């Protein structure tokens, strides 16, 4: 088991647009979010390569409840 310590976890949000038009309005269909941060990304890569990985990091509050679910689904179950 490889532990990747993440002291400042994040929630990465990605939005896709059809085309970027300077000074134009851009509409997004559905934003995609997932747990992020250096340690989380390292654990995701390790997990994809078949190595068992865990991400110990401090989580608290309502925002971090969703982040915890993202950790569980994006790293632990891969």
Q: Domain range holding 70? A: 2-76
Q: Is the whole-model pTM more than 0.75?
A: no
Q: Which phi and psi angles does 32 have, rounded to 5°?
A: -115, 130
Q: Total structural domains in the chain?
A: 1
pLDDT tens track for 23-37: 999 888 888 877 888
Cα–Cα distances in Å, from 59 out to 5, 24, 47, 62?
12, 38, 21, 9
Say yes or no to pLDDT of 78 above 50: no
Q: How confident is the model at residue 65 (pLDDT cuts 50, 70, 90)?
A: low
Q: Which phi and psi angles does 54 have, rounded to 5°?
A: -135, 150
């Amino acid at each position: 088991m490889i532990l990747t310590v993440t002291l400042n976890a994040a929630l990465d949000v990605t939005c896709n647009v059809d085309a970027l038009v300077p000074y134009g309005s851009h509409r997004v269909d559905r934003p995609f979010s997932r747990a992020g941060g250096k340690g989380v990304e390292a654990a995701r890569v390790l997990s994809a390569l078949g190595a068992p990985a865990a991400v110990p990091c401090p989580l608290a509050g309502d925002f971090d409840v969703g982040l915890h679910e993202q950790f569980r689904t994006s790293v632990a179950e891969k």
